[in-house]
Structure 1
Amino acid sequence: MNKFGLKHFLTKILLITLTIAFLFSCNAVKRVPEKKYLLDNNQIFVDSTKSKDPKLYSQLYQKPNIKLLGIPIRLHIYNLAKTNQDSLYQDWLTRTPNREKKLIKLLSKKQVDRLGVGLHRINEWLKSTGEPPSIINESKVKRSVKRLQSYYWNNGWFNNKIDYKITKEDTKKASVDYFVKPHHPYFIDSLNTKIASKVADSIYRLHIDKSAIISGQQYKTLDLESERERLTSLYRNSGLFHFEKQFIKFDADTIGTDHKVNLNLLIKNRPVTIGDSTTRAPFKVHKISKVNVFTDYSYQNRNQKPKDSTSYKGYHIYGFDKIKYTRKAITNSVLITPGKIFRDKDRTLTHNQINNLRTFKYPNIRYKNDPKDPTGKNLIANILLTPRKKYSTNIDFDISTSNIQAFGIGFGGSLLIRNIFGGAEILEISARGSIGSSSDAVDGGEKFFNISEVGTDVKLTFPKIIFPLKTNKIIPKYMSPVTNLIFGMNVQQNIGLDKQNATGVFNYRWKPNNIVTNQLDIVNVQYVRNLNTSNYFNIYNASYSKLNNIANQVLEPSSAFFSQPNDGVSTSLSIPRGANGFIAQSLSPSPNPNFDLIASQIQEIRNINERKVRLTEDNLIFASSYTYTKNNRENLYDESYSRFRAKVELAGNVLRTISNLASLKENSNDRFEIFGVEFSQYAKTELDYIKHWDLGRKNIIAFRAFGGIAIPYGNANSIPFARSFFGGGPNDNRAWLVYDLGPGSSGGRDEFNEANMKIALNAEYRYNILGSLHGALFVDAGNIWNALDSVEEEDAVFSRLDDIQEIAVGTGFGLRYDFNFFVLRLDVGFKTFNPASDEDKRWFKGYNFSEAVYNFGINYPF
């Protein structure tokens, strides 16, 4: 180690030592009053055995202060705050004669007062960010005992006994031990029913096999509650409009039953109040006799009579002004059907369906008794819809940076038009643009803003499946079917390989339930045109350097392939003429005999040319795909969920069939062309799984697994760049920069490394540090490879199962600050296992901060 390195090493050791010394020297009991004790630990012993069950510890009312690596950091921060900061400041200000006058003369009276306010705010921040000491409160300990008793009782241990012991130490710290003796649990023996209403009883008998209460199982109060929820849902979806959960009662008999429970299910008739008296009436199955839909309801017109009306398939549609929606568009969104029995889920589905239209505000659905029905069984459903504004706009602006773009400004806007054809369709027109600065641009950075992009998209959404045949039986309207038509144009002036991009999509989307989404892309067309292919070697310097090195080994300095300065001596291939000419001559069936190229050099030139052709050729992708997504996350605050996505995509088959039927001639590459472009043909599949475990107290474990492969065939021997995979970056393997990882063990030698096969695994432990500041420890593993395509480089190809050993591993830590509406993220990744290094240098050789990769991102990576 040199003198400079030794100095920095000693500095790091000193910093770590001082930090540890500070944390351990802090007095944790500084704010603990006399004769009080800081709760240091809770322990629960079940039948004399220490339990680690988090469900038991969650029953305790009092918990120790949160610790990180065994240190209560938030408690120490809280202890830094002063209990009487204002009086201390005033005392300091007046302690020395003339101190206040001198400060006022130097700063002003207003600034001196502000200094006191600032110190007060800092003090309050320390209190709010920190955590006050958890001082043992014996009344809370006793409440914890009762809560533990309730927990065991509710799980069948009716005769449980629980005691506690507080162990105090001289350091003003104490621990609490809870001693649990559950004794024998009770089991369900029988369930008897007493249901007064014959209708309710018959419905119960029809669905008794789905009961949550099963004879022989250990008693759990939660099972009784589940049964109440099940029966309430069952009755309210079987026509019993007036049924409520509080009508269901249970009582239990455990006397002399030898630890068995005999349950009684009691459902009385519903109470009905008439005047001052209350009677009980049996439940009835109610039927929907009429459905009224008001398309432009507002509070102001609530007492007015509709001026326009129409009907369709038994639905009555009204408007206080002229009705602006087609009858079918309205009725397709209503799942409450005239002539059918009342079902609570139909109301819920109607709410969801109307919300999915994005045309109306949250609907108001009201039921009332039909005055024309003397039996009182018929209901009228009134659906009150309040339209949203027909037009809405949005403007976006952002500032970004990347490994290519040093600084960029993005801007965009969109216009949304509702009900454009009267069928609740939505037309969205959006435009976006950006300008940026890059030192990699061909102009050498002469202009600050030297790269740009502009694009526009048009999206038309229909709230139904548009298909020549009826699809109602396959995809009924409760699945919220949607048809999308999307068209887009994009023009890039980037670091040199400027592009034009046109896309067109026709797809269907439907949701069988709240957690499953299906999307079928019937047609997904993308055309990519490269405008500046002659700039290729000006941009991809790594490829140019490798090619130029080979040229210098076999060519004379005076060769015509080199750029010729005034002295006639050069070692640089001219771009593009010299570089392209040298490749053409080297790979020619009859190469120049003066080149004297060896086999490895020819293979290297072939690899360079293959990559150049792929990245500069125009692409025509005509694909179809199906995507299945299952996501059981209930809301943004749900941190215990899983998400699975599977996608299958096929491209080029339709165009191949058309080419064969039309007897088109193949070009010199034995491939078909459409509009002068060799269309892509491949099969691609992706599998993506995410799982989160909520450990409580803002501790979360997150896991992701991804696998994908795209295999070219027929009219192509490679995958277009737009459909390939890449590795590295803030949302992938964070120990490598984006596009820097792989393929295989090749070492990421190109500027944009991509391939047609990918495996990625990520695991992350997230924990709270202080308030809105969170931390994370992570392990990322994965790589990309070429498989069954035109790439022949052995290090980049996945050709046998042993190549799985080339999975790269990155580990690291991160900080996140939660602003509620988004999370700002910093991750530091270290190359733990680098498959591109020599075999004896692959593990832990990039484990220092100088070689770490620093990733900034918005929101969590998965």
Structure 2
Amino acid sequence: TPDLATQQFSIDNVIVFPNYNIQDVKDGKYSIPMNKDSLSKYAFDDIYVIDPQHKFKPKIFDRALYFKKGDLYNRSNHNLTLNRLISLGVFKFVKNEFVVSDSLSHKFDAYYLLTPRQVQSLRLEALGRTNSANYAGSELNLNWTHRNFFRGAEQFKAAIYGAFDFQMGGAQNANNIFRAGTNVQLSIPRIVAPFRFHSSSEFVPRTNITLGYEFQNRTQYYTLNNFTGSFGYVWKENARKEHDLKVIDITLVSPANVTEEYKVKSDGNPAMKRVVDKQLIFGPTYSYTYTNTMLPRTNTFYYKGTLDLAGNITGLVTGADVKKDKEKKIFGIPFSQYVKIENDLRFYHKFTEKSSLATRFIGGIAYPYGNSEFIPFSKQFFSGGSNSIRAFRARTLGPGSFDPRTIDPGTYFDQSGDVKLELNAEYRANLYKFLNAAVFVDAGNIWLLHDDPTRPGAKFSKDFLNEIAVGAGVGLRLDFSILILRLDLAMPLRVPYYEKGDRWAFDKINFGDSNWRKDNLVLNIAIGYPF
């Protein structure tokens, strides 16, 4: 080891090139080391930002860099600075060089060479889909992203979309569905707050502001106007731990044009009536995520816990209590008050490089109180579908032992609940290059916290284990790295809405019967793994 390499060095000058590219170097537009006499016009506090076109505000580098003039060099701050520059999301390549400026005094200059990504991008997405309720449709999305909106590495995203689903078969009074909307998000690479926030994480914290609107029209039933907005923060302690706090998360649902047909169908069905109620939901939400799945270990974990507190402080201040006829309103709309908790825990065990076991447990509960007797439909839990219990079609399972076959299929009404339990296990193996196979078992259900006369057996009780649905199946996955296409074929092994004592379905399996195959074999086509 050279003797000079064993000596401690301190930082002399910190010079940032935020528009670095190889072609400009070849053209001689700048060089390393820089001429010290030409640096003064680029000074900002204790750093120099070589940005003649003023594409970036110098302050973002002052926040991201952990080396200041006079600091003693150490490897931790070196890596921390590089990671923070990468996590800004506006640079494609990040590297640095150290050039000795005074070997006698053990000083060197730190150069940061940053190659920016394309500032703007436009993406168009089109898709086609069908579902088990004999609906077919299409969706079109147009997304625009600007990665340096106010020259401070702010990411601005805007999207507009339109979609339609229509009943196949040419029914005269088809209940077709049309959706259209827009949403925008501004992500600022710092904590915007009235207090000072200092982060020593290698990840830059972000402040996120979102606004959205969706128009939904079910032609024979109703029209809904959905307005959403949120303000919050996302920050990471390290690569494994992430926090997401929305200080305020608002949803306003305003119905319009509710038809007489829907009023007749929902008469005597409170759950259907609540779909077209005016809803105002606001309050903080918080989620914590821990994962070490990116590490090369035999056993890895993933956990995400979410807490949703709606209308809590407002309800306490106003003394709202719907059960005592003290329902409170804001702008003529009753606000929702509830507590919702959801936990998602996953465990992965690698047998070999080509085989592994993946398991997941989901447990959640939503409890209404004060100004609310029920949880808003959009905030309830659902079960069934390609990322849930795959032997049952999306949002058709539960609640409890309620039989969804008793519902008029023309209503196209999703089943929802206040309590959710789900357990999944999947053995995965590689067959050949990009072709993978899986064998899986799914179990779980949803329940209500209160009795619903229109859905007998839906309430959560001590008998809940007897109302667990079980499904199993096999799957093929085409893993092309940038895209994973998943095909899962599942069948029910235990059906909670069958008669007690007859809910296990092993004796009913009959692959040779076309009617049995039609009613029990469910093919799920999806993108990505279910968990």
Q: How many residues align?
A: 507
1:513 counterpart residue number: 238
Structural mapping, 1:451-470, within 5 Å: 451-470=177-196
Which whole-Å deviations, capped at 9, do the CAs of 1:558-587 have from their partners, x for residues lacking one? xxxxxxxxxxxxxxxxx64xx67xx5xxxx
SS at 1:795 equivalent: coil
Change (3 A) 1:703 1:457: same
1:281-319 CA-partner distances (Å, limit 9, x unpaired) = 672222223211122223243343568844344222222
Deviations 1:819-843 (A, max 9, x none): 3322222222222122211122111
Which one of 489, 497, 502 corresponds to residue 841 of structure 1? 502
Where does 1:301-380 land on structure 2 (aligned, <5 Å)? Answer: 301-302=24-25, 303-304=28-29, 309-319=41-51, 321-371=52-102, 373-375=103-105, 377-380=106-109
CA change 1:657–1:349 in 2 (3 A) is same
Residues 365, 442 of structure 1: CA spacing in aligned structure 2 closer, same or farther, 3 A cutoff? farther
1:216-295 equivalent positions in 2, closer than 5 A: 270=1, 272=2, 283-295=6-18
Q: How big is each residue's C-alpha offset from its partner over 1:337-395, in whole Å with a ceiling of 9 and x where there is no partner? A: 33322222323222222222222221121112123x514x2222101223333322111
User: Equivalent residue of 2:491, what SS?
Assistant: strand
CA change 1:430–1:790 in 2 (3 A) is same
Contact 1:369 1:380 in 2 (8 A): yes
Residue 856 (str. 1) matches residue 515 (str. 2): no
Residue aligned with 2:315, SS: helix
Residue number in structure 2 paired with 1:426: 155
Which whole-Å deviations, capped at 9, do the CAs of 1:218-242 have from their partners, x for residues lacking one? xxxxxxxxxxxxxxxxxxxxxxxxx
The residue type equivalent to 1:695 in the other structure is F
Cα deviation for residue 796 of structure 1 reads 0.9
Aligned to 1:688, the other structure's residue is in SS state strand
Q: How far 1:700 moved relative to its partner?
A: 1.5
How far is 1:442 from its partner?
8.7
1:397 pairs with one of 123, 126, 131 = 126
- Residue 797 of structure 1 corresponds to which residue in structure 2? 459
Work out the percentage of aligned pairs sharing the same amino acid: 30
User: Which residue does the alignment assign to 2:137?
Assistant: 408
Checking the alignment, whether the CA contact within 8 Å between 1:521 and 1:624 is kept in structure 2 is yes
Matched, 1:767 2:429: yes
SS at match of 1:347: helix
Aligned to 2:249: 524
Q: Which residue of 2 aligns with 1:672?
A: 328
In structure 2, what is the equivalent of residue 648 of structure 1?
307
Q: Which moved more, 1:433-442 or 1:843-852?
A: 433-442
Counterparts of 1:813-852 in structure 2, within 5 Å, are: 813-843=474-504, 844-849=506-511, 850=517, 851-852=520-521
Q: Secondary structure at the match of 1:528?
A: strand
- Give the match's secondary structure for 2:382: coil
Which of the two has greater strand per residue? 2
- Which residue is 2:391 aligned to? 735
Tell me the secondary structure at the aligned position of residue 407 of structure 1. Answer: strand
What SS does the aligned partner of 2:6 have? coil
SS in 2 for 1:361: strand
SS of the residue 2:72 aligns to? coil
User: Does 2:290 match 1:623?
Assistant: no
Deviations 1:531-576 (A, max 9, x none): 2433564xxxxxxxxxxxxxxxxxxxxxxxxxxxxxxxxxxxxx64
CA shift, 1:754, in A, is 0.6
Q: 1:308 to 1:613 in 2, by over 3 A?
A: farther
Aligned to 1:641, what secondary structure does the other structure show? strand
- Confirm whether residue 437 of structure 1 aligns to residue 178 of structure 2: no
What amino acid is aligned across from residue 655 of structure 1 in structure 2?
T
- In the TM superposition, 1:373-388 aligns within 5 A as 373-375=103-105, 377-388=106-117
Contact 1:490–1:502 (CA under 8 A) maintained in structure 2: yes
Give the Å deviation of 1:668.
Answer: 9.9
User: What secondary structure does 1:533 align onto?
Assistant: coil
Question: TM-score scaled to structure 2, two decimals?
Answer: 0.88
- Tell me: CA distance 1:307–1:341, structure 2 relative to 1, closer, same or farther (3 Å): closer
CA 478–700 in structure 1, closer or farther in 2 if over 3 Å, else same: closer
Between 1 and 2, higher relative CO (CA 8 Å, sep ≥ 6) is seen in: 2
Q: What is the CA–CA distance in structure 2 between the aligned matches of 1:667 and 1:861, rounded to whole Å?
A: 40
Residue 632 of structure 1 aligns with which residue? 292
Instruction: Return the alpha-carbon distance in structure 1 between the equivalents of residues 340 and 158 of structure 2.
Output: 30
Contact 2:494 2:503 in 1 (8 A): yes
TM-score by length of 1: 0.55
Distance in 2 between residues matched to 1:369 and 1:789, nearest whole Å: 76
Give SS of 2:178's match: strand
SS state of the match for residue 487, structure 1?
Answer: strand
Q: Distance in 2 between matches of 1:651 and 1:736?
A: 31
Shift of 1:522: 0.4
Instruction: Check the 8 A contact 1:428/1:458 in 2, yes or no.
Output: yes
Task: Check conservation: 2:149, 2:156, Cα contact below 8 A.
Answer: yes
SS state of the match for residue 348, structure 1?
A: helix
Change (3 A) 1:633 1:413: same
Task: Work out whether residues 497 and 535 of structure 1, in 8 Å CA contact, stay in contact via their aligned partners in 2.
Answer: no
Counterpart amino acid of residue 143 in structure 2: S
Q: Provide closer, same or farther for how the CA distance between residues 324 and 498 of structure 1 changes in structure 2, counting only shifts above 3 A.
A: same
In the TM superposition, residue 658 of structure 1 has moved relative to its aligned partner by 5.9
What is the alpha-carbon distance in structure 2 between the residues aligned to residue 480 and residue 830 of structure 1? Answer: 46
- Unaligned segments of structure 1, at least 5 residues: 1-269, 273-279, 538-574, 584-604
**Amino acid paired to 1:388:** R
- For structure 2, the 5+ residue unaligned runs are 31-37, 408-412, 512-516
* 2-structure distance, mates of 1:657, 1:326: 44
1:604-642 C-alpha deviation (Å, 9 max, x unpaired): x4xx2x21332221211102111110121228x999632
Give the 3-state SS of the residue equivalent to 2:242 in structure 1: strand
Does 1:724 find its partner at 2:380?
A: yes
Which has the higher mean CA deviation after the structures are superposed, 399-408 or 806-815?
Answer: 399-408
- Counterpart residue type for residue 307 of structure 2: V
Question: What is the deviation of 1:406?
Answer: 2.8
Partner Cα distance (1:770, 1:282) in 2: 49
1:519/1:626 contact within 8 Å kept: yes
Report the AA paired with residue 181 of structure 2. G
**What is the rounded CA distance, in whole Å, between the counterparts of 1:361 and 1:771 in structure 2?**
30
Q: 1:296 to 1:334 in 2, by over 3 A?
A: same
Distance 1:820 1:626, change over 3 A: same
> What letter is aligned with 1:455?
G
CA 1:323–1:477: 2 relative to 1, 3 Å: farther
- Listed one character per residue, the Cα deviations across residues 144-198 of structure 1 (whole Å, up to 9, x for unaligned) are xxxxxxxxxxxxxxxxxxxxxxxxxxxxxxxxxxxxxxxxxxxxxxxxxxxxxxx
CA RMSD of aligned residues (A): 2.8
Counterparts of 1:419 and 1:308, CA distance in 2? 25
The alpha-carbon deviation at position 457 of structure 1 amounts to 0.8
- Distance of 2:185 and 2:483 partners within structure 1: 27
Q: Report which stretch shifted further, 829-838 or 300-309.
A: 300-309
Matches within 5 A, 1:551-570: none
**CA 1:476–1:819 in structure 2 vs 1: closer, same or farther (change >3 Å)?**
closer
Q: Matches of residues 644-723 of structure 1 in structure 2 within 5 Å?
A: 644-657=303-316, 659=318, 669-723=325-379
Distance 1:625 1:791 in 2: 32
Partner of 2:342, secondary structure, is strand
Judged with a 3 Å threshold, the aligned counterparts in structure 2 of structure 1 residues 679 and 639 are, in CA distance, closer, same or farther, namely farther
Greater helix proportion: 1
For the pair shown, which has the larger CA radius of gyration, 1 or 2? 1
- Please state whether the residue corresponding to 1:530 is helix, strand or coil: strand
Give the C-alpha shift of residue 788 in structure 1: 5.2
